[in-house]
Structure 1
Amino acid sequence: MFGGTFDPLHIGHLRSALEVAEFMALDELRLIPSARPPHRSAPQVSASDRLAMVELAVAGLSPLCVDDRELKRDKPSYSIDTLESLRAELGADDQLFLLLGWDAFCGLPSWHRWTELLEHCHILVLQRPDADSDAPEALRNLLAARSVNDPLSLSGPGGQISFVWQTPLAVSATQIRALLADGKSIRFLVPDAVLAYIHAHGLYRAVN
Protein backbone atom coordinates (compact mmCIF):
# COMPACT_ATOMS: atom_id res chain seq x y z
CA MET A 1 0.00 0.00 0.00
CA PHE A 2 1.19 3.47 -0.92
CA GLY A 3 -0.85 6.21 0.70
CA GLY A 4 -0.91 9.96 0.29
CA THR A 5 -3.09 12.95 -0.31
CA PHE A 6 -2.15 12.86 -4.03
CA ASP A 7 -3.02 16.54 -4.30
CA PRO A 8 -2.35 16.08 -7.19
CA LEU A 9 -0.82 12.73 -8.10
CA HIS A 10 2.36 13.30 -10.12
CA ILE A 11 5.07 11.40 -11.97
CA GLY A 12 7.19 11.12 -8.82
CA HIS A 13 4.44 9.12 -7.09
CA LEU A 14 3.93 6.91 -10.11
CA ARG A 15 7.60 6.31 -10.81
CA SER A 16 8.22 5.33 -7.18
CA ALA A 17 5.24 2.98 -7.17
CA LEU A 18 6.17 1.35 -10.47
CA GLU A 19 9.83 0.87 -9.55
CA VAL A 20 8.91 -0.81 -6.27
CA ALA A 21 6.23 -2.97 -7.86
CA GLU A 22 8.67 -4.23 -10.49
CA PHE A 23 11.65 -4.66 -8.15
CA MET A 24 9.61 -6.54 -5.54
CA ALA A 25 7.54 -8.44 -8.14
CA LEU A 26 4.37 -7.42 -6.35
CA ASP A 27 1.05 -8.95 -7.32
CA GLU A 28 -0.60 -5.61 -6.64
CA LEU A 29 0.37 -2.14 -5.49
CA ARG A 30 -2.55 -0.11 -4.16
CA LEU A 31 -2.44 3.66 -4.18
CA ILE A 32 -4.62 4.79 -1.30
CA PRO A 33 -5.75 8.44 -1.30
CA SER A 34 -6.17 9.75 2.24
CA ALA A 35 -9.33 11.58 3.24
CA ARG A 36 -8.32 13.53 6.34
CA PRO A 37 -4.56 13.28 6.83
CA PRO A 38 -3.87 13.75 10.56
CA HIS A 39 -0.33 15.13 10.10
CA ARG A 40 -0.83 17.84 7.51
CA SER A 41 -3.27 20.47 6.32
CA ALA A 42 -6.41 19.45 4.47
CA PRO A 43 -6.01 18.71 0.75
CA GLN A 44 -6.72 21.63 -1.56
CA VAL A 45 -9.23 19.77 -3.75
CA SER A 46 -12.02 17.34 -2.93
CA ALA A 47 -11.62 13.66 -2.22
CA SER A 48 -13.63 12.81 -5.33
CA ASP A 49 -11.31 14.88 -7.54
CA ARG A 50 -8.18 13.36 -6.04
CA LEU A 51 -9.60 9.86 -6.42
CA ALA A 52 -10.56 10.51 -10.03
CA MET A 53 -7.04 11.72 -10.86
CA VAL A 54 -5.42 8.63 -9.33
CA GLU A 55 -7.85 6.35 -11.17
CA LEU A 56 -7.07 8.07 -14.48
CA ALA A 57 -3.33 7.85 -13.86
CA VAL A 58 -3.18 4.11 -13.16
CA ALA A 59 -5.81 2.93 -15.65
CA GLY A 60 -4.32 -0.03 -17.50
CA LEU A 61 -1.06 0.24 -15.54
CA SER A 62 -0.94 -3.14 -13.80
CA PRO A 63 -0.01 -3.96 -11.05
CA LEU A 64 -0.85 -0.43 -9.88
CA CYS A 65 -4.44 0.08 -8.77
CA VAL A 66 -6.53 2.33 -6.54
CA ASP A 67 -8.05 1.59 -3.14
CA ASP A 68 -10.57 4.16 -1.88
CA ARG A 69 -11.24 2.72 1.60
CA GLU A 70 -9.84 5.73 3.45
CA LEU A 71 -12.16 8.06 1.55
CA LYS A 72 -15.14 6.02 2.79
CA ARG A 73 -14.25 6.49 6.46
CA ASP A 74 -15.76 9.31 8.46
CA LYS A 75 -12.62 9.87 10.54
CA PRO A 76 -8.94 10.75 10.07
CA SER A 77 -6.94 8.50 7.76
CA TYR A 78 -4.85 6.48 10.18
CA SER A 79 -2.55 3.96 8.49
CA ILE A 80 -3.03 1.45 11.29
CA ASP A 81 -6.77 1.27 10.54
CA THR A 82 -6.08 0.75 6.84
CA LEU A 83 -3.52 -1.96 7.56
CA GLU A 84 -5.91 -3.77 9.90
CA SER A 85 -8.67 -3.75 7.30
CA LEU A 86 -6.34 -4.92 4.54
CA ARG A 87 -4.86 -7.64 6.71
CA ALA A 88 -8.37 -8.92 7.48
CA GLU A 89 -8.92 -9.44 3.73
CA LEU A 90 -5.65 -11.28 3.11
CA GLY A 91 -4.45 -14.74 3.94
CA ALA A 92 -2.50 -15.13 7.18
CA ASP A 93 0.73 -15.77 5.25
CA ASP A 94 0.29 -13.08 2.57
CA GLN A 95 2.97 -10.42 2.64
CA LEU A 96 1.78 -6.85 3.01
CA PHE A 97 4.10 -3.89 2.49
CA LEU A 98 3.66 -0.29 3.60
CA LEU A 99 5.60 2.09 1.34
CA LEU A 100 6.88 5.25 2.99
CA GLY A 101 9.12 8.06 1.81
CA TRP A 102 12.10 8.84 4.02
CA ASP A 103 10.50 11.96 5.52
CA ALA A 104 7.30 10.08 6.38
CA PHE A 105 9.31 7.25 7.91
CA CYS A 106 11.25 9.67 10.11
CA GLY A 107 7.91 11.05 11.32
CA LEU A 108 6.56 7.64 12.36
CA PRO A 109 6.83 8.30 16.12
CA SER A 110 4.08 10.91 15.78
CA TRP A 111 1.69 8.48 14.04
CA HIS A 112 -1.37 6.97 15.72
CA ARG A 113 -0.45 3.56 17.23
CA TRP A 114 2.74 3.55 15.21
CA THR A 115 4.37 0.80 17.25
CA GLU A 116 1.69 -1.62 16.00
CA LEU A 117 2.30 -1.08 12.29
CA LEU A 118 4.81 -3.91 11.93
CA GLU A 119 2.34 -6.36 13.43
CA HIS A 120 0.46 -6.17 10.13
CA CYS A 121 3.07 -5.46 7.45
CA HIS A 122 6.65 -4.95 6.40
CA ILE A 123 7.74 -1.35 5.88
CA LEU A 124 9.58 -0.42 2.69
CA VAL A 125 11.29 2.95 2.97
CA LEU A 126 11.75 4.74 -0.35
CA GLN A 127 15.25 6.15 -0.01
CA ARG A 128 16.80 8.47 -2.56
CA PRO A 129 20.57 8.46 -3.12
CA ASP A 130 20.70 12.20 -2.32
CA ALA A 131 19.01 11.82 1.11
CA ASP A 132 21.57 12.50 3.81
CA SER A 133 19.62 12.86 7.05
CA ASP A 134 19.71 10.36 9.90
CA ALA A 135 16.72 8.60 11.42
CA PRO A 136 15.46 10.17 14.66
CA GLU A 137 16.56 8.62 17.93
CA ALA A 138 13.07 7.19 18.56
CA LEU A 139 13.52 4.91 15.52
CA ARG A 140 17.11 3.80 15.98
CA ASN A 141 16.38 0.85 18.25
CA LEU A 142 13.56 -0.26 15.95
CA LEU A 143 15.85 -0.11 12.93
CA ALA A 144 18.58 -2.01 14.76
CA ALA A 145 16.13 -4.79 15.66
CA ARG A 146 13.96 -4.98 12.54
CA SER A 147 15.91 -3.77 9.50
CA VAL A 148 16.87 -6.12 6.67
CA ASN A 149 19.49 -5.10 4.12
CA ASP A 150 17.97 -6.84 1.10
CA PRO A 151 14.26 -6.07 0.55
CA LEU A 152 13.93 -9.25 -1.53
CA SER A 153 14.83 -11.34 1.51
CA LEU A 154 11.97 -10.06 3.69
CA SER A 155 10.25 -13.11 5.12
CA GLY A 156 6.84 -13.77 6.60
CA PRO A 157 3.71 -11.59 6.40
CA GLY A 158 5.26 -8.62 8.21
CA GLY A 159 7.48 -7.35 10.98
CA GLN A 160 10.56 -6.06 9.18
CA ILE A 161 11.91 -2.86 7.62
CA SER A 162 13.98 -2.48 4.49
CA PHE A 163 15.08 0.28 2.15
CA VAL A 164 14.46 0.52 -1.56
CA TRP A 165 16.62 2.95 -3.52
CA GLN A 166 14.68 5.26 -5.81
CA THR A 167 15.47 7.27 -8.90
CA PRO A 168 15.55 10.91 -7.71
CA LEU A 169 12.75 12.96 -9.28
CA ALA A 170 12.56 16.48 -7.90
CA VAL A 171 8.80 16.81 -8.28
CA SER A 172 6.35 17.76 -5.54
CA ALA A 173 2.62 18.40 -5.33
CA THR A 174 3.39 21.73 -3.62
CA GLN A 175 5.47 22.79 -6.62
CA ILE A 176 2.73 21.71 -9.03
CA ARG A 177 0.00 23.60 -7.15
CA ALA A 178 2.17 26.75 -7.13
CA LEU A 179 2.78 26.52 -10.88
CA LEU A 180 -0.94 26.13 -11.56
CA ALA A 181 -1.81 29.03 -9.27
CA ASP A 182 0.62 31.17 -11.29
CA GLY A 183 -0.97 30.06 -14.56
CA LYS A 184 2.13 28.11 -15.63
CA SER A 185 2.32 24.75 -17.38
CA ILE A 186 2.71 21.50 -15.46
CA ARG A 187 2.98 19.35 -18.55
CA PHE A 188 5.31 16.34 -18.11
CA LEU A 189 5.04 16.67 -14.29
CA VAL A 190 1.74 14.78 -14.20
CA PRO A 191 0.26 12.18 -16.56
CA ASP A 192 -1.60 13.65 -19.53
CA ALA A 193 -4.91 12.28 -18.25
CA VAL A 194 -4.39 14.05 -14.89
CA LEU A 195 -3.42 17.28 -16.66
CA ALA A 196 -6.59 17.13 -18.76
CA TYR A 197 -8.72 16.51 -15.64
CA ILE A 198 -7.16 19.44 -13.78
CA HIS A 199 -7.84 21.80 -16.68
CA ALA A 200 -11.33 20.45 -17.35
CA HIS A 201 -12.35 20.99 -13.72
CA GLY A 202 -10.46 24.21 -13.11
CA LEU A 203 -8.48 22.80 -10.18
CA TYR A 204 -5.72 24.62 -8.27
CA ARG A 205 -6.41 28.00 -9.82
CA ALA A 206 -5.46 31.08 -7.86
CA VAL A 207 -8.37 32.62 -5.98
CA ASN A 208 -8.64 36.33 -6.69
Structure 2
Amino acid sequence: MTLPEAGPLGVFGGTFDPIHYGHLRLAETAREALGLTRVRLIPAGQPPHRATPGAAGAHRLAMARLAAASNPAFEVDPAEVEAAQASYTILSLERLRAELGPRRPLVLLLGVDAFLGLPTWRRWTELFDFAHLAVANRPGYSLGGAAMPAALAEQVSRRQATPDTLGAAPAGRLVQFAMTPLAISATDIRARCAAGQSLRYLLPPPVVDYISRHQLYL
Protein backbone atom coordinates (compact mmCIF):
# COMPACT_ATOMS: atom_id res chain seq x y z
CA MET A 1 0.00 0.00 0.00
CA THR A 2 1.39 3.41 -1.00
CA LEU A 3 0.88 6.14 1.57
CA PRO A 4 -0.36 9.50 0.24
CA GLU A 5 2.12 12.32 -0.09
CA ALA A 6 2.17 14.77 2.81
CA GLY A 7 1.01 18.34 2.18
CA PRO A 8 3.21 21.39 1.57
CA LEU A 9 6.06 21.92 4.02
CA GLY A 10 7.14 25.48 4.77
CA VAL A 11 10.89 26.06 4.97
CA PHE A 12 11.94 29.11 6.98
CA GLY A 13 15.65 29.76 7.39
CA GLY A 14 17.34 32.58 9.21
CA THR A 15 20.11 33.55 11.57
CA PHE A 16 17.54 33.71 14.41
CA ASP A 17 19.96 35.72 16.55
CA PRO A 18 17.77 35.47 18.59
CA ILE A 19 14.47 34.08 17.32
CA HIS A 20 11.57 36.37 18.30
CA TYR A 21 7.83 36.87 17.91
CA GLY A 22 8.28 38.53 14.50
CA HIS A 23 9.82 35.31 13.13
CA LEU A 24 7.18 33.13 14.73
CA ARG A 25 4.30 35.30 13.52
CA LEU A 26 5.59 35.16 9.94
CA ALA A 27 5.81 31.36 10.12
CA GLU A 28 2.31 31.04 11.59
CA THR A 29 0.78 33.48 9.10
CA ALA A 30 2.38 31.56 6.23
CA ARG A 31 1.09 28.26 7.60
CA GLU A 32 -2.47 29.55 7.57
CA ALA A 33 -2.36 31.60 4.38
CA LEU A 34 -0.60 28.98 2.27
CA GLY A 35 -2.18 25.81 3.66
CA LEU A 36 1.12 24.40 4.94
CA THR A 37 0.96 21.20 6.97
CA ARG A 38 4.09 22.15 8.92
CA VAL A 39 6.83 24.78 8.98
CA ARG A 40 10.46 23.76 9.41
CA LEU A 41 12.67 26.41 11.03
CA ILE A 42 16.33 26.18 9.99
CA PRO A 43 18.77 28.30 12.01
CA ALA A 44 21.81 29.20 9.90
CA GLY A 45 25.15 27.93 11.10
CA GLN A 46 27.53 30.24 9.23
CA PRO A 47 25.38 32.74 7.26
CA PRO A 48 27.36 33.86 4.19
CA HIS A 49 25.55 37.21 3.73
CA ARG A 50 25.78 38.47 7.31
CA ALA A 51 28.36 39.25 9.96
CA THR A 52 29.23 36.59 12.50
CA PRO A 53 26.14 36.04 14.68
CA GLY A 54 26.11 37.38 18.22
CA ALA A 55 25.36 33.95 19.67
CA ALA A 56 26.96 30.63 18.75
CA GLY A 57 25.00 28.26 16.56
CA ALA A 58 24.30 25.87 19.42
CA HIS A 59 22.64 28.66 21.41
CA ARG A 60 20.57 29.86 18.45
CA LEU A 61 19.46 26.29 17.76
CA ALA A 62 18.48 25.80 21.40
CA MET A 63 16.48 29.03 21.40
CA ALA A 64 14.69 28.06 18.19
CA ARG A 65 13.69 24.75 19.76
CA LEU A 66 12.36 26.51 22.84
CA ALA A 67 10.41 29.00 20.71
CA ALA A 68 8.87 26.28 18.53
CA ALA A 69 8.00 23.86 21.31
CA SER A 70 4.51 25.21 21.96
CA ASN A 71 3.37 24.95 18.32
CA PRO A 72 2.86 21.37 17.06
CA ALA A 73 3.03 22.60 13.45
CA PHE A 74 6.60 23.87 13.90
CA GLU A 75 9.76 21.77 13.74
CA VAL A 76 13.41 22.77 13.99
CA ASP A 77 16.15 21.47 11.71
CA PRO A 78 19.68 21.41 13.18
CA ALA A 79 21.54 20.50 9.98
CA GLU A 80 22.92 23.95 9.06
CA VAL A 81 24.18 24.59 12.59
CA GLU A 82 25.79 21.17 12.70
CA ALA A 83 27.43 21.50 9.26
CA ALA A 84 31.03 22.59 8.93
CA GLN A 85 30.34 24.66 5.80
CA ALA A 86 28.62 27.98 5.16
CA SER A 87 24.81 27.92 5.20
CA TYR A 88 23.57 28.24 1.63
CA THR A 89 19.84 27.87 1.03
CA ILE A 90 20.29 25.85 -2.15
CA LEU A 91 22.26 23.21 -0.23
CA SER A 92 19.54 22.93 2.41
CA LEU A 93 16.85 22.55 -0.25
CA GLU A 94 18.87 19.86 -1.99
CA ARG A 95 19.18 18.04 1.33
CA LEU A 96 15.48 18.36 2.11
CA ARG A 97 14.50 17.15 -1.33
CA ALA A 98 16.72 14.07 -0.90
CA GLU A 99 15.21 13.48 2.55
CA LEU A 100 11.54 13.99 1.66
CA GLY A 101 11.44 12.67 -1.88
CA PRO A 102 10.66 14.24 -5.25
CA ARG A 103 6.92 14.86 -4.80
CA ARG A 104 6.55 16.62 -1.42
CA PRO A 105 5.77 20.32 -2.04
CA LEU A 106 8.38 22.52 -0.36
CA VAL A 107 7.66 26.22 0.18
CA LEU A 108 10.58 28.52 0.95
CA LEU A 109 9.38 31.47 3.05
CA LEU A 110 11.01 34.86 2.41
CA GLY A 111 10.42 38.49 3.29
CA VAL A 112 10.30 41.04 0.50
CA ASP A 113 13.80 42.34 1.33
CA ALA A 114 15.32 38.87 1.13
CA PHE A 115 13.51 38.10 -2.11
CA LEU A 116 14.74 41.28 -3.80
CA GLY A 117 18.29 40.28 -2.88
CA LEU A 118 17.88 36.82 -4.38
CA PRO A 119 20.23 37.41 -7.36
CA THR A 120 23.14 37.66 -4.89
CA TRP A 121 22.44 34.16 -3.53
CA ARG A 122 24.38 31.13 -4.65
CA ARG A 123 22.67 29.32 -7.56
CA TRP A 124 19.55 31.38 -6.97
CA THR A 125 17.65 30.38 -10.11
CA GLU A 126 17.94 26.73 -9.04
CA LEU A 127 15.91 27.40 -5.90
CA PHE A 128 12.78 27.04 -8.03
CA ASP A 129 13.87 23.53 -9.04
CA PHE A 130 13.59 22.39 -5.43
CA ALA A 131 10.83 24.51 -3.88
CA HIS A 132 8.07 27.01 -4.38
CA LEU A 133 8.90 30.50 -3.09
CA ALA A 134 6.45 32.44 -0.92
CA VAL A 135 7.05 36.14 -0.28
CA ALA A 136 5.61 37.85 2.79
CA ASN A 137 4.32 41.31 1.90
CA ARG A 138 3.80 43.96 4.51
CA PRO A 139 1.66 47.12 4.37
CA GLY A 140 3.17 49.62 1.93
CA TYR A 141 5.90 47.24 0.79
CA SER A 142 5.18 44.44 -1.65
CA LEU A 143 6.60 42.98 -4.83
CA GLY A 144 4.01 44.90 -6.84
CA GLY A 145 5.64 48.22 -6.04
CA ALA A 146 9.26 47.13 -5.81
CA ALA A 147 12.00 47.77 -8.34
CA MET A 148 13.92 44.60 -9.09
CA PRO A 149 16.64 43.31 -11.41
CA ALA A 150 15.42 42.21 -14.82
CA ALA A 151 16.35 38.58 -14.22
CA LEU A 152 14.31 38.51 -11.03
CA ALA A 153 11.36 40.31 -12.62
CA GLU A 154 11.35 37.68 -15.37
CA GLN A 155 11.09 34.92 -12.77
CA VAL A 156 8.22 36.74 -11.03
CA SER A 157 6.33 37.18 -14.30
CA ARG A 158 6.79 33.56 -15.32
CA ARG A 159 6.15 31.83 -12.02
CA GLN A 160 3.45 33.82 -10.20
CA ALA A 161 0.63 31.64 -8.89
CA THR A 162 -1.97 31.54 -6.14
CA PRO A 163 -1.54 29.77 -2.78
CA ASP A 164 -4.18 27.16 -3.58
CA THR A 165 -1.93 25.74 -6.34
CA LEU A 166 1.06 24.94 -4.11
CA GLY A 167 -0.04 21.39 -3.41
CA ALA A 168 -0.34 20.53 -7.09
CA ALA A 169 3.42 20.51 -7.79
CA PRO A 170 6.54 19.99 -5.69
CA ALA A 171 8.32 23.21 -6.73
CA GLY A 172 8.60 26.05 -9.22
CA ARG A 173 5.87 28.52 -8.32
CA LEU A 174 5.95 31.95 -6.71
CA VAL A 175 3.20 33.17 -4.40
CA GLN A 176 2.72 36.15 -2.14
CA PHE A 177 0.93 36.44 1.18
CA ALA A 178 0.12 39.36 3.42
CA MET A 179 1.26 39.72 6.99
CA THR A 180 1.04 42.41 9.62
CA PRO A 181 4.62 43.08 10.71
CA LEU A 182 5.60 43.27 14.33
CA ALA A 183 8.03 46.09 15.11
CA ILE A 184 10.59 43.69 16.57
CA SER A 185 14.11 43.08 15.32
CA ALA A 186 16.96 40.88 16.48
CA THR A 187 19.28 43.88 16.23
CA ASP A 188 17.14 45.84 18.68
CA ILE A 189 16.87 42.84 21.01
CA ARG A 190 20.66 42.47 21.11
CA ALA A 191 21.00 46.20 21.85
CA ARG A 192 18.48 45.91 24.68
CA CYS A 193 20.43 42.99 26.12
CA ALA A 194 23.66 44.98 26.05
CA ALA A 195 21.89 47.89 27.79
CA GLY A 196 20.36 45.66 30.45
CA GLN A 197 16.79 46.38 29.33
CA SER A 198 13.82 44.04 29.58
CA LEU A 199 13.09 41.63 26.74
CA ARG A 200 9.63 40.74 28.02
CA TYR A 201 6.92 40.55 25.30
CA LEU A 202 9.51 40.58 22.50
CA LEU A 203 10.37 36.88 22.64
CA PRO A 204 8.74 33.76 24.08
CA PRO A 205 9.41 33.56 27.85
CA PRO A 206 11.56 30.39 27.57
CA VAL A 207 13.84 32.23 25.12
CA VAL A 208 14.06 35.25 27.43
CA ASP A 209 15.03 32.91 30.29
CA TYR A 210 17.62 31.15 28.11
CA ILE A 211 19.28 34.44 27.13
CA SER A 212 19.43 35.51 30.77
CA ARG A 213 20.72 32.15 31.98
CA HIS A 214 23.51 32.00 29.41
CA GLN A 215 24.31 35.73 29.57
CA LEU A 216 24.01 36.17 25.81
CA TYR A 217 24.44 39.45 23.91
CA LEU A 218 26.09 41.30 26.77
| Matching of residue 65 in structure 1 with residue 75 in structure 2 | yes
CA distance in 2, matches of 1:48, 1:39: 19
**8 A Cα contact 1:130 1:168, kept in partner:** no
User: When the two structures are aligned, how many residues end up with a matched partner?
Assistant: 204
Could you say which residue in structure 2 is the equivalent of 1:75? 85
Report how far residue 177 of structure 1 moved: 0.6
CA distance in 2, matches of 1:46, 1:110: 25
| Identical amino acids, percent of aligned pairs | 47
Could you say which residue in structure 2 is the equivalent of 1:175? 188
Could you say which residue in structure 1 is the equivalent of 2:148? 136
Report how far residue 73 of structure 1 moved: 1.3
Could you say which residue in structure 1 is the equivalent of 2:47? 37
Equivalent runs, 1:1-208 vs 2, <5 Å: 1-131=11-141, 134-137=146-149, 138-148=151-161, 150-154=162-166, 155-205=168-218
Residues 154-197 of structure 1, C-alpha deviations (whole Å, 9 max, x = no match): 33000011111111211110011111111111110000000000
Report how far residue 92 of structure 1 moved: 2.1
**Structure 2 residues not aligned, in runs of 5+:** 1-10
* AA at the equivalent of 2:163: P
Report how far residue 68 of structure 1 moved: 0.7
Q: Secondary structure at the match of 2:103?
A: coil
CA distance in 2, matches of 1:181, 1:111: 32
CA distance in 2, matches of 1:130, 1:182: 32
| Greater alpha carbon shift after TM alignment, 156-165 vs 129-138 | 129-138
CA distance in 2, matches of 1:200, 1:104: 32
Q: Secondary structure at the match of 1:163?
A: strand
CA distance in 1, matches of 2:147, 2:20: 26
* AA at the equivalent of 2:124: W
Report how far residue 71 of structure 1 moved: 1.1
* AA at the equivalent of 1:131: Y
**Structure 1 residues not aligned, in runs of 5+:** none
| Greater alpha carbon shift after TM alignment, 130-139 vs 63-72 | 130-139
Residues 70-113 of structure 1, C-alpha deviations (whole Å, 9 max, x = no match): 11211110000000010011232210010011111011000001
* AA at the equivalent of 2:102: A
Residues 45-76 of structure 1, C-alpha deviations (whole Å, 9 max, x = no match): 11111011010111131111100111121111
Q: Secondary structure at the match of 1:193?
A: helix
Report how far residue 135 of structure 1 moved: 4.0
CA distance in 1, matches of 2:181, 2:66: 24
After superposition, the CA RMSD in angstroms is: 1.2
